[in-house]
Amino acid sequence: MKIFLDSTDIEYITRLRPTGMIDGITTNPSLMAQSDKGFEEVLRDICTLIEGPVSAEVVVTEAGEMYRQGRYLASLADNIVVKLPCTWEGMTACRKLADENIGVNVTLCFSANQALLAAKAGAMFISPFIGRIDDTGADGMELIEEIRSVYDNYGFETEILAASIRNVEHVKNAALIGADVATLPPKIFEALIEHPLTDKGLEKFLQDWKATGQNMPIP
Ligand code: E4P
């Protein structure tokens, strides 16, 4: 499963880049609002740091305007993917952009039927929002399962991008179901490595090594 970061934090992205694990970035207008830089600068900086897809969201609702804003966003860097909301207007703009080989990430997906339409409109990614579904009392992960089945039934190539991830269980379950991508807030990405037995085991290994009195050189 590919891992994207759901962030506009340039310092954080710069710090994590050497791990080689960041396959792409997602942004949205709310994340842009958290940055003290303008959106163009943010997008250009991110696209310089990360080779993979960088999702940039339109902020209009009419199909023609979405299409034009999408083309403008895509002109900022080769790896920009245009994020469009899952509405009929969004579907129309998606088809037009996809026909011009501009990648589209259809966002705010809350049903398998919406995901079916996005795939038929040529979306590169569909973004089901797991956490926001959980917030309503339903199980967001069921939607990932449903979309996986629908896409596999018909061989759609649209990638399932598990979004609105709130905890490490979401990440594990998305991977088990076969989501193609999960986009993670920084704190969830960091938490993926944590396990108390790793910490305990490491402490014991280092303690035992220290007791040998030996030194291992760092050439
Ligand atoms: C992904 O593309 C979305 O921007 C993001 O995952 C939304 O997450 P939230 O529901 O925590 O805002």
Write the pLDDT tens digit of every residue in 15-30. 999 999 999 999 999 9
Q: If you measure from the C-alpha of residue 126 to the centroid of ligand 1, how many angstroms do you get, rounded to a whole number?
A: 12
- At 149, the pLDDT band (50, 70, 90 cuts) reads very high
Question: Among 129, 144, 165, 189, which residue has the most ligand 1 atoms within 8 Å of its CB, making it the best to mutate?
Answer: 129
Percent residues over pLDDT 90 in the chain: 100
Nearest CA to ligand 1 atom 12: 164
How far is the centre of ligand 1, averaged over its atoms, from the C-alpha of 68 (Å)? 24
For a pLDDT cut of 70, what percent of the chain falls above it?
100
Ligand 1 neighbours by CB, cut-off 6 Å: 6, 26, 28, 107, 127, 129, 131-132, 163-164, 183
Q: What's the confidence (pLDDT) of residue 59?
A: 98
Query: Does the model's pTM come out above 0.85?
Result: yes
Tokens coding 101: 């080989």
Given 83, 96, 204, 210, the catalytic residue: 83
**Is 204 marked active-site?**
no
pLDDT band at 34 (very low <50, low <70, confident <90, very high): very high
Q: Please, which residues bridge with residue 4 across strands?
A: 24, 183
pLDDT at 174: 98
81 C-alpha vs ligand 1 centroid, how far in Å?
16
